């Protein structure tokens, strides 16, 4: 039980990487916002419903809308809290892939790191692939030193930082 609490705390700490979402075009803003509000209104015992509502809200947002990435991170967190680590991990990877496609290295590293933590708990070797993705992003000159330490500190692997050009 202590390991589960420690892992959940790690996921919460990793959430400190989430920047404030900006305003991008949304495929269906009214419906996405309605789903986000609905997710916020659920009772804690309905945490899986929170994840599902946020996942649906993210699907209604354009691929370049950072709120969609935030929705996916929040959905993954809800799935994890609801006892579905497989779905949480997949959702975190989806968030990371979407963030990376937009060039948001902070959110991408956050998503891959969260997925790696879950894979590590499950003893899944995909952990190494996810750690490598997060560490490659940690080497970005776009990250602050604090973000870099938070990412690489999870698994104590060295990272060579790319030089700014």
Considering the chain, what is the average pLDDT of its residues?
Answer: 78
Say yes or no to pLDDT of 123 above 50: yes
Domains and CATH numbers, the chain: 2-115 (1.25.40)
Q: How far apart are CA 69 and CA 59, in angstroms?
A: 10
The neighbour count for residue 47, using CB atoms within 10 Å, is 19
State what percent of residues in the chain have pLDDT above 70.
74
Among candidate residues 141, 140, 97, the one with its CA nearest the CA of residue 115: 97
Q: How far apart are CA 147 and CA 7, in angstroms?
A: 19
Please list, in sequence order, all residues whose beta carbon lies within 8 angstroms of the beta carbon of residue 60, skipping any fewer than 6 positions away.
Answer: 26, 27, 28, 31, 32, 35
Of residues 161 and 136, which shows the higher confidence score? 136
């Amino acid at each position: 039980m202590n390991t589960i609490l420690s892992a959940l705390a790690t996921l919460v700490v990793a959430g400190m990487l989430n920047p404030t979402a900006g305003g991008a075009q949304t495929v269906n803003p009214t419906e996405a916002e309605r789903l986000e509000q609905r997710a916020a209104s659920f009772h804690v015992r309905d945490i899986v419903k929170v994840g599902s509502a946020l996942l649906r809200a993210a699907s209604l947002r354009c691929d370049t809308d950072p709120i969609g990435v935030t929705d996916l991170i929040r959905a993954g967190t809800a799935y994890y809290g609801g006892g579905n680590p497989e779905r949480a991990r997949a959702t975190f990877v989806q968030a990371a892939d979407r963030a990376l496609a937009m060039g948001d290295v902070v959110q991408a590293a956050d998503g891959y790191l969260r997925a790696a933590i879950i894979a590590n708990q499950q003893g899944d070797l995909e952990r190494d692939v996810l750690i490598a993705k997060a560490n490659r992003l940690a080497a970005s000159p776009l990250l602050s030193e604090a973000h870099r330490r938070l990412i690489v500190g999870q698994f104590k692997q060295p990272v060579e930082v790319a030089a700014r050009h």
